[in-house]
Amino acid sequence: MKDKEYVRKARLLMRKMTLEEKIGQLNQVGASIYGTTNESGYEEMAKNGKVGSFLSLHDPERCNKLQRIAVEQSRLGIPLIFAEDVIHGLKTVFPVPLAESCSFEPELASRTAEVAADEASACGVKWVFAPMTDIARDARWGRIAEGSGEDPYIGSLFAAARVKGFQGGGNDGNIDEKHVAACVKHFACYGAAESGKDYNTVQLSDNNLYNAYLPPYKAAVDAGVLTVMTAFNDLNGTPCTVNAPLIEGILRKSWGFEGVVVSDWAAVAEAEYHGYCADRKDCAAEAIKAGVTVDMMGHAYDTYLSDLAKKDGKIRRCIDELCEQVLVLKYRLGLFDRPYADLSRVKDLYSQEKLDLAAEAARKSIVLLKNDGILPLKRGAKVLVTGGLATDKRSMLGCWCFPETQESTVDTLSGIKEKFAADYAAVPVDISRYSAIICVVGETNRETGEAASHAFIGLKESDVALVKAAKKTGLPVIALVLSGRPLALTEINDDVNALVECWHLGSVGGRAIADVLCGDFSPEGRLTASFPRETGQCPIYYSHFNTGRPYIAGQGCRCKFRDCDEGPLYPFGFGLTYTEFEYSEPTIENAVIGKNDKIRLSVKLKNTGKVEGTETVQVYFRQISSKPIRPMKSLAAFKKVRLAAGESRTVKFTLDPDDLGIIRTAALKPERAKGKCEIFVGANSEDCKKIEFVTE
Ligand code: NOJ
């Protein structure tokens, strides 16, 4: 990835740089969600070479003004980078990443990331802090919304796809005008925060680390991601931001990453609060030695590095090496040649074409959880819509986005009104004129995302009361759940005729919901995170171990809760369509897979319903015995198949046992899966048919 020419140029430039100027390149300041931008002093910093990048600025004129100072008035004219949290769109807002992963269509995520990059770069932003690839198995953690759910295979595919979308197709690591540098985060394992409490400690065995949590970050690195963000948490006792074995060892040495590592917000300084570093100076020394290139708002590098460097040759060498990384990134971004945002591009933001893509992504993200046949509703039907979220535009956009396009966002009620004769009432009243009641329940944008951990993830009492009141009317009840996390929906599950997980869908979410309700679009989303029955089941994920006492219905001393039914309310991979699919018994070519053989698998799928539909055929793998142990099931492949009513198709998969076995080292190379194995093929992680075989 390292381009010799850029390195040569960076080194030439560095010959002219003072120590203070080099440290300036490692310093990032700005605002983020922790406050509004206080820009006083920015211009001075830019002029004096005290800063290499700003975060949370995406006003192109403002960016250009600061850039002009850096380029024209600073001693060496080194351009700045403007970085921003463009998590699921800037002006055009796409579904929250968790929702989008339910499309089971990484290529879609690539396209939405590309549009986000286009809008970001038009606004002066050349570095986005996405994708987040933290595996999350505990929905109490509010940031589950920002990733691709619980599964490393899905997580890896979406990680790579988003990196390619943000950065563009080229393999040479150069970023053109319409793309940006991506940043995979949060390295590592932030999603495993104990009890789902944000920023909490993470304790993981090597088995879990290598097989479940690290693969998506590596997939991003393999896809050529240019930057990596360290996580707030400690991992097995060492804060990630000062964790040399993690950054230098795994990321750089094992995976060959040569780009920029940025700390999370103030995380360098927080190593002191973790009780790892004695003081902030120590934090600066530990972080730079661990290989953290940029200190985001920790003010540890700009305050202490200069002193430290004067006494310690190793730190001087680290500063040189890391400064070179920042300069190379600036060359790759083309900032030395094109430092300014092209203001003429602003007119292309939030265009119809981009909104069409947002609508496609939103439709494909929706997951139909329950339907007794009430859906699809007849177009034009008279419906009563209830629930405060129905008109909440901001919440439709979800966490981590900018409210600039909020006014033109299509909320649920507005979308429904485009297809139905809909009235709105805060509570169900005067129901005689309607054919169904639509209850919009769930959570607001502020209840998901960062610092939004919840100890209870059931529905709010008021939402449950609303659904019960609707049920009492005797009319069919359709519940639309707007949320950034899997909620425990047990309390309303039996009361509703249809249950639709709508997530926070972005700019045109309401329109996508209405498309699904009226059948203009047949739902095809599949859950990428398990929906628990009760909060107390968290963390909950399909890919668990068997234990010595696996659950057996009716038996006592088994791995289960006494006061809750076993398993999720809706499992990983689950989602209904408006038609039915029938699976034949799957077959494989050989019951014994020889040393150089692959597993060739086929299953016949038939659309037995009355309308066209898309099925996501899922393949799970299990190795029966392994030291250490392997999960009961691991997603190994899937295919989305569109079939007309009555149509059949044989769906084929080829799997390689070399890719399926246990991972024992940080290089993340799987061993060959040997011995007795099982493959499961079906519609979701629970509803699937098994084949047994042996690999040599
Ligand atoms: C904190 C968040 O953890 C991270 O995801 C984000 O990119 C930075 N702050 C910058 O806003």
pLDDT digits (tens, 9 = 90+) for 356-410: 999 999 999 999 999 999 999 999 999 999 999 999 999 999 999 998 999 999 9
User: 315: closest CA among 329, 334, 301?
Assistant: 301
The DSSP output letter for 254 is: I
Residue minimizing CA distance to atom 11 of ligand 1: 32
Residue minimizing CA distance to atom 10 of ligand 1: 32
User: 239: closest CA among 206, 205, 287, 299?
Assistant: 287
pLDDT of residue 299: 95
* Ligand 1 atom showing the smallest separation from residue 190 Cα: 3
Which two tokens mark 69? Answer: 């100072």
Which two tokens mark 313? Answer: 């040759």
Q: What contacts 555, CB < 8 A, 6 or more positions away?
A: none
264 alpha carbon to ligand 1 midpoint, in Å?
Answer: 6
Q: What contacts 323, CB < 8 A, 6 or more positions away?
A: 10, 14, 17, 22, 23, 25, 26
pLDDT of residue 170: 67
Residue minimizing CA distance to atom 7 of ligand 1: 129
pLDDT of residue 34: 73
411 alpha carbon to ligand 1 midpoint, in Å?
Answer: 27
DSSP letters of 355-390? Answer: HHHHHHHHHHH-EEEEESS-PSPPTT-EEEEESGGG
Which two tokens mark 639? Answer: 């295919």
Which residue out of 29, 33, 263, 401 has the highest number of ligand 1 atoms within 8 Å of its CB and is therefore the one to mutate?
33
The catalytic position among 118, 264, 295, 515 is: 264
343 alpha carbon to ligand 1 midpoint, in Å?
Answer: 27
Please report, to the nearest 10 degrees, the dihedral formed by the alpha carbons of residues 96, 684, 375, 459 taken in order. -50
Ligand 1 neighbours, Cβ below 6 Å, are 32-33, 55, 85, 129, 185, 264-265, 450
Which residue out of 28, 84, 229, 230 has the highest number of ligand 1 atoms within 8 Å of its CB and is therefore the one to mutate?
229
pLDDT along the chain (696 residues), means of 10: 84 98 97 73 95 96 97 98 98 98 98 98 98 98 98 98 92 88 98 98 98 98 97 98 98 98 98 98 98 97 98 98 98 97 96 98 99 98 97 98 93 98 88 93 98 98 97 97 98 98 98 98 98 98 98 96 98 98 96 94 98 98 97 98 98 97 97 97 98 96
Q: Give the span between the Cα atoms of 240 and 187, in whole angstroms.
A: 7
- 498-501/367-371 β-pairing: antiparallel
Is 264 known to be catalytic?
yes
Helix, strand, or coil (residue 20): helix
461 alpha carbon to ligand 1 midpoint, in Å?
Answer: 32
pLDDT of residue 171: 60
CB 583 within 8 A of CB 608: no
pLDDT of residue 35: 67
pTM check: above 0.95: yes
pLDDT of residue 658: 96
* Ligand 1 atom showing the smallest separation from residue 231 Cα: 3
Residue minimizing CA distance to atom 1 of ligand 1: 265
User: 575: closest CA among 479, 648, 499, 639?
Assistant: 499
The DSSP output letter for 76 is: S
Cα–Cα–Cα angle for 122, 127, 130, rounded to 5 degrees: 110
* Ligand 1 atom showing the smallest separation from residue 85 Cα: 7
Which residue out of 185, 233, 260 has the highest number of ligand 1 atoms within 8 Å of its CB and is therefore the one to mutate?
185
132 alpha carbon to ligand 1 midpoint, in Å?
Answer: 10
Query: Is-cis flag, bond preceding 339, omega within 30?
Result: no
pLDDT of residue 169: 74
